[in-house]
Amino acid sequence: MSVGPAGDLYVRSAQELIKQKLSEDDHRIYIKIRDLSSTATTLYRESLLEESRNCLKRAWDYLDKHAKSEELILLGKSRIAQTEAYLDFLQKDFKQAKSLLQTSLESDEVLETDYEYSVFHVQRLHNLHLQIRIDFETGNPASAIELCEKIIQYLTGNLDDLLVGNGWGGERVKNTPAIFRNSILSQIVGEVGTHLTKQSAEIGRELFMKFPGWKLLAGNDFLKEIYEWGSMKEAFLNNEHEKFLELCAAFLKKGPMETLLWHTTVLDLCACCKALRPSQTKEFLKEVAEDAKAIIVMEGSQYIAPTEIGFKQVVITKDDAIPVHVLPTDLRKMLENNSDFSVTKTRRKSIELPRNFHAYDVGLPRSGTSSIASLFGNYRSRAEFKERESVEHIVAWKDGHISRETLRKYVLNRHRVGGLEMDPASFNHFYMSILVEEFPEAKFIFTIRDCYTWVNSFSKMISRWRKHFHDVGYEMPGWMLDYGRILFGKFDWNWLSSYQTVQSNLPELVGIFVQCWAKYNRSVLELLPPERSLIIRTHELSQSLDRIAEFIGVPGNRLTTNHHVNISPDGDDLLSNFNRGEFDELCSRYGSDIMERVFSENPMVV
C-alpha cells in the first residue's frame, strides 16, 4: 500500500516480514531500492519530475545490477513498478500505468503464493484500487464500478475469485486482518461515491444499480456509514426527495466519519436543494463552497499520524490527537464549484511576491527559531515551513539518493513557493551552503543556545513527542525516525519513552546530543558570511530586539512583543542526575572552540 495514512500500518508489517525473510545482504539491496522509489515520489510531489524519473531509473539499474535471487528481484520489481505506475497515473499516462501495474500485480502474486508473503494480499488489492482509478479517469466507469463491486463481494466473503489474475481465495481474505479489509473497503466505496456525484441522474442510477455490494456492510459496525450512504443514494437517484432529506439530516449530523461519503452526501444535498428550491438555497450553496476552501490540515505544532483509513488523518498536537479528513482534489473542486455564485479562491501566484527583506534563522531546534518566527509576525514569517518535505529531501541527500543539485532545486522551489521574508526553519542549517550561494543579498541570524540548556531542552522536546505518540497509540512517523538517524546516527527512540528510560540511558543521550550540538553549530559558524550575519545567544534574545531590527533593516516597532513562544511546558531538569563536571568535560572535548567563540567573556561573534 502507499506510504501515508492509508498504508502505514501495512508498510510496517510488510517491511518487518521482508527483513525476516531476506538475507542481510539482500535486505540491504532491497532497502536501497525501496528508498530510491520513495524518493522518486517525494521529488514528484515537489514538481521535480526529471529528477523523479532519474531516481526510478537508478532503482531499476540498481535492481538489475545487484539482485541475484528471484525473491529479491520480485520484491524490487513490485516496489518500483508500483511507484512508477502511480506516478504515471498522476501524469495521465494511463497506458504505461496499466502496464506497470500489471508487472506489480504479477510479482506480488508470485511472492504471496510461492514465497509466503501473505501480507502482500493487501498490496494486490491496493493495486486494484489504482486500476479502478485508471478506469474512472479513462472514461470506463462501468468497468470501474464492476471491479469495485467484485472487491466488496470478495472482502465480505461472498466471492472466491476476483477473476483478475490468479491467487485469490476465501482463505486468503480470512487471513487478512480486518483493519486492512476495512481500509480497502473505505477507499473503494469512497471512489464510487465521488464518481457517482459526477454523473447525470440517469447514468448515476444505471451505475449505482451495478453496485449492490453496499448492502453487505449493514452489519459492519466500523463502516456502517457505507450502508447508510447507500440507502440515501438510492433514494436520491430515485427522486425520493423526502426520504433522502430525512436520511441525509441524520447522516450529516454525525459529521465526517471514516470515508469520503459525508462529503459526497453534501454534494447530493446541494443538488437536491438546487432542484427543489433554487433561489432560496443560494446562500447555503455559497457557504458550502466557502467551507470547502477551508478544509485543510491544521498548522502549528503538529505532526500527521497514520490511521487505517485512506482519507482520514490524525493531527497530533502538543495537547491532543484530532481526526481530520484530507479531500482528493476533484472532490474538493466539486464542493467549491457547487454554487452558482463565484467563490473567491486563493490561487498561488506564478511570480514571487516582493519581499521587504530576505532573511533566515539558521539555528538548531530549541535555540530560538520559533521565537524569531513570532518576532517577525508582522511580516511573512513562518516556523518550520514544509518541514516534512524538507526533511525527506535532506535525508535523501544524506543517504546518497539525490544529488546536491537536486537538493538545490528543491530549496529554490521551497523559497519560491513560500515567499517568506523571514525563514526561521530549524533545518535550514543542513543546506546553508546553498542558501549562502543562491541568495547573495539574504541575511542570516544565528540563534545559538549554550550546550547545557540546549541538551536539556532538546531532550525534553523529543521525549515529549515520543511519549505523546505512544500515549495516543501511534508509531513515530517514518520521516521523523529518519530525521533522528541523520541527526544522531545510531539512536534508539525508546530511550525517550519515559522519564525513567531517559534517566537509564542518560550517559548515551548526553554524549550523542553534545556531539550533535557541537557538530551542527560549528558547521553554521564556518558557513556564516560575516558581512551579512548576526549571532544572537538565545538567552539574550529579549535584549537584542533593537540589534535585530537594525540588522534586518526594519523599524523596531514593527517587531512583535509576543516572541516568548515554544517554551517548555515544565521545569524538569532531565540532566539533574548527570554530573555537571562530566557534562562540562564533554562539552569542552567536542565544542571548546564554539564555547570560546560565542560564550566566553569576550566572544568573537560576527
Q: Which residue has the higher pLDDT, 548 or 354?
A: 548
Task: Work out the percent of the chain whose per-residue pLDDT is above 90.
Answer: 71
> Over 80: is that where the pLDDT of 320 sits?
no
Length of the chain: 606
> Over 70: is that where the pLDDT of 281 sits?
yes
User: Which pLDDT score is estimated for 553?
Assistant: 96
CA torsion, ordered 448, 454, 455, 459, to nearest 10 deg: -120
218: Cβ contacts below 8 Å, ≥ 6 apart: 224, 227
Q: What is the mean pLDDT of residues 283-298?
A: 77
> Over 90: is that where the pLDDT of 336 sits?
no
> Over 50: is that where the pLDDT of 1 sits?
no
Which segment of 181-185, 328-332, 380-384, 581-585 scores lowest on mean pLDDT? 328-332
pLDDT tens-digit series, residues 170-188: 999 999 999 889 989 999 9
User: Which pLDDT score is estimated for 327?
Assistant: 76
> Over 50: is that where the pLDDT of 107 sits?
yes
Q: Which of 194, 210, 167 is nearest to 266 (CA)?
A: 194
| Cell numbers at 445, concatenated | 541570524
> Over 70: is that where the pLDDT of 267 sits?
yes
> Over 90: is that where the pLDDT of 259 sits?
no
Q: What is the mean pLDDT of residues 260-275?
A: 92
pTM of the predicted model over 0.85: yes
User: Which pLDDT score is estimated for 347?
Assistant: 45
Q: Which fold has domain 359-599?
A: Rossmann fold (3.40.50)
CA distance 138 to 155: 26
> Over 50: is that where the pLDDT of 431 sits?
yes
Q: For residue 467, what pLDDT band results from cuts at 50, 70 and 90? A: confident
Q: For residue 54, what pLDDT band results from cuts at 50, 70 and 90? A: very high
Q: Which residue has the higher pLDDT, 395 or 284?
A: 395
User: Which pLDDT score is estimated for 391?
Assistant: 96
CA distance 257 to 592: 56
Q: What is the mean pLDDT of residues 101-115?
A: 97
3-class SS of residue 269:
helix
CA distance 538 to 447: 6
Q: Which residue has the higher pLDDT, 93 or 256?
A: 93
User: Which pLDDT score is estimated for 289?
Assistant: 86
pLDDT tens-digit series, residues 192-239: 999 999 999 999 999 999 999 999 999 998 899 999 999 999 999 999
The residue type found at 437 is E
Q: Which of 229, 249, 7, 238 is nearest to 123 (CA)?
A: 7
> Over 90: is that where the pLDDT of 567 sits?
no
3-class SS of residue 321:
strand
Q: What is the mean pLDDT of residues 247-263?
A: 91
In the chain, ranges of CATH 3.40.50 domains: 359-599
Q: What's the distance, CA 213 to chain centroid? A: 32
| Cell numbers at 554, concatenated | 526594519
User: Which pLDDT score is estimated for 587?
Assistant: 95
User: Which pLDDT score is estimated for 306?
Assistant: 46
> Over 60: is that where the pLDDT of 37 sits?
yes
By DSSP bridging, strand 443-448 and strand 533-537 are: parallel
Q: For residue 11, what pLDDT band results from cuts at 50, 70 and 90? A: confident
Q: How far is CA 99 from CA 69, 131, 224, in A?
A: 24, 10, 36
433: Cβ contacts below 8 Å, ≥ 6 apart: 527
